[in-house]
Structures are given as C-alpha cells and as structure tokens.
Amino acid sequence: MAVFEIKHPLVQHKLGLMRKAGLSTKQFRELCSEIGALLTYEATRNLETETVEIKGWQGTPLAVENIKGKKITLVPILRAGLGMLDGVQTLLPNAKISVVGLYRDEETLEPVAYFDKVVRDVEERTALIVDPMLATGGTLIATIDLLKQKGCKHIQGLFLVAAPEGIAKLEAAHPDIDIYVASVDDHLNDKGYIIPGLGDAGDKIFGTR
Ligand SMILES: O=P(O)(O)OC[C@H]1O[C@H](OP(=O)(O)OP(=O)(O)O)[C@H](O)[C@@H]1O
Ligand SMILES: O=c1cc[nH]c(=O)[nH]1
Ligand SMILES: [Mg+2]
C-alpha cells in the first residue's frame, strides 16, 4: 500500500483555507471540489497512454497521445464524497459513477451501509473512491469489501484528510490499495474525529449542522 501525501502548494493552501472556523457551506464545498480535482491530477499521473494517428489541423496525419483503454469508475461515498465529485469530474468527465452510501454510527463508530449502485462492469474498471475523510478507516474498508465482492480488482482512494489510525487499519485489511491525500493529520479524538481535521465534512458540505 502507498500513501501519497500531495504537498503541492495549491493543495496545501486550499486545505489550510478549509481548516478555518466559520467557513460558509459554499466556501467549504468549493474548496472540497477544487482539492478533489488536484488529487485526481496526481492519482491519474501514471495512466498509460498510446500513440494514435489523427488528421491534424493542417490536413496532414499527426501522431498524438491518447489514454489507453483503461476504464475508471468514480465511487463517491455518500454523503460527503459528493462534495469532491464535481472537481474530480472536471478531469474525468466520462468516468462512470458508482455511488455507495454509508454513514458512521455516532456511538460505535462502525459503518452502516444503506445504498449501493455500482456499475455493472466494475471488474473491468479501476475504482477511484472519493471521500473527504478517512478517520477510523471503517467506512473505507467496508466500501473496498463491497467493491471486491463485486469483482473489482484495482482500487484507489482520494481523501482530503486521513488519520494515521485509519491508514494503519486500511493497510492491515487491504494492503493492495493506494491512497492520495492532501494531509495525513495527527490523530483521532475520543469521538473519532480527525485532529486537527476539518470537523464534520458531510455537515459542512450540506449545511446540516
Ligand atoms: O473512517 P471512518 O471512521 O469510517 O469515518 C469516515 C467517514 O465519516 C464521514 O461520513 P459520515 O459517516 O459522517 O456520513 P456523511 O458523509 O453522511 O456525513 C466521512 O465522510 C467518511 O465517510
Ligand atoms: O473528522 C471526521 C471524522 C469522520 N467524519 C468527518 O466528517 N470528520
Ligand atoms: Mg458526516
């Protein structure tokens, strides 16, 4: 398993803005989406390309690079994953979307699954999981379990903030998964929130505090 912590100045600047108290729903959601796009840029860095011949603008044949037929499905985890989806889709506008719904029980911190609509040919695709927060890791592990049960073989994840505890749990459960994060933060508090973190991302994105 590899954890790519993206130190790009734009990512770090935007994440810093997100940590501020009192952001509006609009500001928080826009930053979430913008960092989603920047993480996508990094996560797609190694997509294979192939040379194809086109008719160039001058009317003569021209060799250009195309992304090789590797297909992607985006997997936003409801609800908060929807806050990053717009940005991810700006770079991958044709990717099919597999929506999964899980929430974390506030008492037990265990994930509760309530929805999934995964693309039919998921076994032929790379799944790119999208969620702002990787805290205890329970939600992510349950999502990967679900995707693997449906035959998906290649899975990556994009997160704004991850806790070391969740990364360790993920490594033990699914060592084959690579993740791209804007920050690995310090620790989880006794309520399972990431410190310093962002607070409750879902509530901030949807204005449901
Ligand atoms: O790593 P974990 O400890 O499982 O926690 C992470 C999950 O918690 C948050 O979702 P939440 O349960 O708040 O649902 P929401 O997106 O509907 O707000 C977050 O968006 C992750 O999905
Ligand atoms: O810090 C956290 C942990 C889980 N879910 C969130 O939205 N924030
Ligand atoms: Mg939430």
ipTM for the predicted complex comes to: 0.98
| The predicted structure's pLDDT at residue 54 | 98
Which residues are tagged catalytic? 104, 108, 200, 203
Query: What protein residues have CB closer than 5 angstroms to ion ligand 3?
Result: 200, 202
Q: What are the structure tokens assigned to 22, written together?
A: 């009192």
| The predicted structure's pLDDT at residue 203 | 98
| Mutation test residue for ligand 1: of 103, 108, 140, 187, the one with most atoms within 8 Å of CB | 103
SS3 92: coil
Cα-to-centroid distance, 88 and ligand 1 (Å): 19
Q: What are the structure tokens assigned to 61, written together?
A: 């044949």
Residues whose CB falls within 8 Å of the CB of residue 12, separated by 6 or more in sequence, listed in order: 182, 183
| The predicted structure's pLDDT at residue 209 | 84
Alpha-carbon distance values, 40 to 37, 44, 54, 119, 133 (Å)? 5, 6, 27, 20, 16
Partners of 62 in the β-ladder: 54
pLDDT tens digits in sequence order for the chain, 209 residues long = 999 999 999 999 999 999 999 999 999 999 999 999 999 999 999 999 999 999 999 999 999 999 997 699 999 999 999 999 999 999 999 999 999 999 999 999 999 999 999 999 999 999 999 999 999 999 999 999 999 999 999 999 999 999 999 999 999 999 999 999 999 999 999 999 999 999 999 999 999 98
Q: What are the sequence ranges of the domains in the chain?
A: 3-206
pTM above 0.90, yes or no: yes
Q: Which residues are annotated as a binding site for uracil?
A: 194, 199-201
Q: Which residues are annotated as a binding site for 5-phospho-alpha-D-ribose 1-diphosphate?
A: 79, 104, 131-139, 200
| Mutation test residue for ligand 1: of 100, 116, 139, 187, the one with most atoms within 8 Å of CB | 139
Regarding the domain delimited by 3-206, which CATH topology (the fold level of the hierarchy) does it fall under? Rossmann fold (3.40.50)
Cα-to-centroid distance, 109 and ligand 2 (Å): 10
| Mutation test residue for ligand 2: of 79, 187, 194, 198, the one with most atoms within 8 Å of CB | 194
Angle at 177 between CA 71 and CA 198, to 5 degrees: 100
> CB under 6 Å to ligand 2: residues?
80, 133, 135, 192-194, 197, 200-202
Q: Which residues are annotated as a binding site?
A: 79, 104, 131-139, 194, 199-201
Name the one residue in this structure whose structure tokens are 């994930």. 111
- The atom number, within ligand 2, closest to the CA of 195 reads 1
